[in-house]
Amino acid sequence: MSILTILEFPDERLRKKAALVKNVDNHIKQLIDDMLETMYHAGGIGLAATQVNVHLQILVIDTSEEKNLPLCLMNPEIISKDGEFEYKEGCLSVPEFFEKIIRPGRIVVKGLDRNGEPVEIEANDLLSTCIQHEIDHLNGKLFVDYLSPLKRQRIKAKLDKIHRLEGR
C-alpha cells in the first residue's frame, strides 16, 4: 500500500476527463487500495482517481462515522436524481476552503464494484453529495466551479500563493 500525492487546484490535470475502466485487474485493485489509504490518511470522505493523477473512472468513499465502511465505484452513471440537499463542501484538492453547494438530495447510481460486478446504489444527503462531488472530479469539474467567478478567483489566488511559498 502507498500514500499517493493529491493534485491541488488550479492544477490543469484536475480538468482531464477520466476514461472507462475496461478490466478490473490486480493493478486496478492495488490502485483502489492505495486510493482508500490516501483518502483515510488525508482525512477525506471521498477521493476520485483524477485527484491522484490517474485518469480512470474510479472513486472511493467512506462517509461512515467509524471510517470503516469503504465504498468503491467504477464507471459510475447517475440514473436518477431528485430533491435538494445543501452542504458546506470541501475538497482535498482545494484545501482549507469550504462553501455551501446545493445538489440533488437523492440519487440512484450504477457502476462496477471492487470486483468488477455491476452494482446499483441509492444514496441520500451526504452520501449523495459525496458521490456527485467525486463524479464531477472524473469529468474534470471541481466544487469551486459552482461558485461565483470572484470567489473562485480569490481561492485560486490564495492557493497560488501557498504553492509558490512551497516552491511548487
Which positions are annotated as active-site residues?
A: 134
> Least Å distance between CB 128 and Ni ion?
15
- According to the binding rule CB under 6 A, does residue 62 interact with ligand GNR? no
Could you tell me where the DSSP H helices lie in the chain?
26-42, 125-138, 149-165
Min CB(63)–ligand GNR separation in Å: 9
Q: Which does 130 bind (CB under 5 to 8 A by kind): ligand GNR, Ni ion, none?
A: ligand GNR
- Distance, first Cα to last Cα, the chain: 26
45 binds, among ligand GNR, Ni ion, none (CB under 5 to 8 A by kind): ligand GNR
Does residue 7 belong to the site contacting ligand GNR (CB under 6 A)? no
Rounded Cα–Cα distance for residues 85 and 46 (Å): 18
Q: Which of 48, 44, 53, 46 is nearest to 5 (CA)?
A: 53
CA 82/CA 45 separation, integer angstroms: 22
Nearest approach, Cβ of residue 137 and Ni ion (Å): 6
Residues 6+ apart with CB under 8 A from 151: 99, 144
Would you state the cell numbers that stand for residue 152, as one nine-digit string? 473562485
Contact call for residue 91 and ligand GNR (CB under 6 A): yes
Determine if 9 is a binding residue for ligand GNR (CB under 6 A). Answer: no
Q: Which residues bind ligand GNR (CB under 6 A)?
A: 44-48, 51, 87, 89-93, 129-130, 133-134, 137
